[in-house]
Structure 1
Amino acid sequence: MSLAPQQPAEIKKKPVSFSNILLGSALNMCEVTTLGQPLEVTKTTMAANRNLNFLQSVKHIWARGGVFGFYQGLIPWAWIEASTKGAALLFVAAEAEYQFKRLGLGNFGAGIMGGVSGGVAQAYLTMGFCTCMKTVEITKAKSAVAGAIPQSSWSAFKDIYKREGIRGINKGVNAVAIRQMTNWGSRFGFSRLVEEGIRKMTGKTNPEDKLTAVEKICASAIGGGLSAWNQPIEVIRVEMQSKKDDPNRPKKLGVVSAFKYIYQSSGLKGLYRGVSPRIGLGVWQTVFMVGFGDMAREFVGKLTGETPAAKH
């Protein structure tokens, strides 16, 4: 009895809908406007001023503008970034994951490579100039002249563009790309490992058994927190984009030269400055996007008849 050869399962590309993009943008906007930007400002301040600890950084930010000091760079740069980076991630990650599956990778490997590709696309398409301008806002010196009007965000943007062109407003974009690439790869990997551990502990051995909302949030929050292992890349990125007055800093910094300068001036600890608020930011993003995201997906699903998957 001869058996007909089995046809390989057809590989289908995950669809990307407009409700995905709109929901992801809305969730990102809410996340950054609540606790996201204060943690971002604290993290960046510590990375740029490596002699300050967490409490000293909080006092420094408060002295610069009170409550509003914690929202420096929110409008327009953090809002532009939040409303666009999700679209770049969704489109590129879906296409990349599909192509890697066609090359023979399994779901896990293709998923990681899709996330890595999406993270790199985020950096070069939307996040490069946004993170640069946010860092400029957070680290630039306030005017010491009484009665002087501080330079606005757009004025700073125009000034940098006039002097340095596209490269100036995208300074540190290579470090951003490395950060996003390692962020998405490690977040995906760590979250899946924690999920497997939760499944073993709760007896959910069947892949069809769904995790509860609390279990998903815990797994993703731990994954998001553990992804802060690449904090040296974040400190390098901040140093490359910083407007802090530092006569000892080399004029033209690349990723390697910035690493050498930080290590020589601040040692190994300097490369991990700001890791605490970075972990807090990763956990907050995850809890917000997974927790509130599930509720938002159910609501949008009732309105549109489809269930969008929000990513950040």
Structure 2
Amino acid sequence: MVASANLAGPSGEKKLEKKPIKFSNLLLGASLNMFEVTTLGQPLEVVKTTMAAHRGDGFATALGRVWSRGGVLGFYQGLIPWAWIEASTKGAVLLFVASEAEYYARSFGANEFGGGIIGGITGGVAQAYATMGFCTCMKTVEITKHKMAAAGVKPQSTFATFMDIYRKDGIRGINKGVNAVAIRQMTNWGSRFGLSRLAEGWIRSATGKTEGEKLGPWEKILASSLGGGLSAWNQPIEVIRVEMQSKKEDPNRPKKMTVGNTFRYIYDNNGIRGLYRGVAPRIGLGIWQTGQDLCRKLTGDKVTAKH
């Protein structure tokens, strides 16, 4: 898809190489993302969203609430098709755009840390507006629509709910909270990629590797895990996103929710702790996603559209 190119650096420095983005690599990346979300990824997402929506719940209470919605299957609400759509398009949108943006940032003089941040921000925003807006909205609706079940009425199917929202509010309704999603994605992936690059530098220093020398598989996984875990600093944006997309009824909620008035609503009702509800499973999710690095190494096919 993209031709290889080299940019010559100062004498003695390793050249910046632009690697080709192969369809087979994107397909492999999509498959591994599907595996990640179908195993532990979606259960962690469900618990995280439940805690963000029910901010008085602790971790154990949230687990019980999810279990009460259908046992083991309760932890997989929103998996099909929304989480699968989001996971399968991650490589084609986020990682492809991030890879291109990081390369061009580096070609204009950015270092690894800065290039990683620019790539993550650009890729995160692209994914948010291309696919994640309606995917996260529908996942959150699935996880938080408990009013009908509590009243003894059988909840609507996923697609019936989707069509109801579309008939009532159109595309804007389906993409409700997309601006919060974009802010979360740009801060999440920007800090994740940047912090991963920073961690790689720390690991090189600790192991005596020179600049540009490749890290081993487990060293890369450690760097990615640190980046994924530390990137959870922006959990308030995630809680705001969940609240904006939630279907729960509360007369005190703002009629027309924006990022700003939703922040104020959560802070007034739950304080700072409320803004960080769900951060533990969020950290676990960030670390779990880095297991894909090891899978890619074991397949013997390096995904070039990857960070």
**TM-score normalized by the length of structure 1:** 0.89
Partner of residue 171 from structure 1, selected from 167, 176, 180: 176
Quick one: which amino acid aligns to residue 232 of structure 2?
A
**8 A contact 1:50–1:270 mirrored in 2:** yes
Counterpart among 282, 285, 288 of residue 281 in structure 1 = 285
For 1:56 and 1:192, the matched residues in 2 are separated by 36
Alpha-carbon distance in 2 for matches of 1:45, 1:143: 16
Structure 1 131/144 Cα, relative in aligned 2: closer, same or farther at 3 Å?
same
Say which of 89, 94, 102 aligns to 2:99.
94
Residues 217 and 173 of structure 1: is their aligned pair in 2 closer, same or farther, counting only changes over 3 Å? same
- Correspondences of 1:49-198 after superposition (within 5 Å): 49-141=54-146, 142-144=148-150, 146=152, 148-198=153-203
For the residue of structure 1 that corresponds to 2:36, the secondary structure is helix
Q: CA deviation at 1:270?
A: 0.4
Match of 2:4 in 1: none
Gaps of 5+ in 2: 1-6, 10-14
In structure 1, what is the equivalent of residue 12 of structure 2? none
Q: Aligned equivalents of 1:99 and 1:119: distance in 2?
A: 16
Partner of 1:309: 304
SS in 2 for 1:199: helix
Counterpart of 1:244 in structure 2 is 248
Deviations 1:61-108 (A, max 9, x none): 101111000000000100011111221123322332344345443444
Q: CA RMSD for the aligned pairs?
A: 2.0
Q: SS in structure 2 opposite 1:181?
A: helix
Which deviates further from its counterpart, 194-203 or 207-216? Answer: 207-216
Deviations 1:280-306 (A, max 9, x none): 1111111x211212213x0xx3xxxxx
Report the AA paired with residue 170 of structure 1.
Answer: N
Which amino acid letter does the alignment assign opposite residue 130 of structure 2?
L
1:43 corresponds to 2:38: no
Tell me by how many angstroms 1:11 deviates.
6.9
* Greater radius of gyration (CA): 1
- Distance in 1 between the 2:49 and 2:213 partners? 40
CA distance in 1, matches of 2:128, 2:225: 22
User: Take 1:78 and 1:227, find their aligned partners in 2: how far apart are those partners?
Assistant: 21
C-alpha contact 1:27 1:289 (8 A) present in aligned 2: yes
> Quick check: 1:232 aligned with 2:236?
yes
Which residue number in structure 2 is paired with residue 4 of structure 1?
none
2:266 aligns with one of 253, 262, 266: 262
Kindly provide the amino acid, as one letter, of the partner of residue 40 in structure 2: L
Q: Distance in 1 between matches of 2:256 and 2:163?
A: 20
- Within 1, Cα distance between the matches of 2:61 and 2:246? 19
Shift, 1:250, TM fit: 1.2
- Between the aligned partners of 1:117 and 1:61, the Cα distance in structure 2 is 34
Divergent runs of 4+, >6 A: none
State percent identity of aligned pairs. Answer: 66
CA displacement at 1:158 relative to structure 2:
0.3
Aligned amino acid, residue 250 of structure 1? P
Kindly report which structure 2 residues correspond to 1:12-27, keeping only aligned pairs within 5 A, or say none: 13-27=18-32
Change (3 A) 1:285 1:310: farther
Give yes or no for the alignment of 1:202 onto 2:207. yes
* Paired residue type of 1:57: A
Give the structure 1 partner of residue 3 of structure 2.
none
**Residues 102 and 219 (structure 1), Cα distance of their counterparts in 2 relative to 1, 3 Å cut:** closer
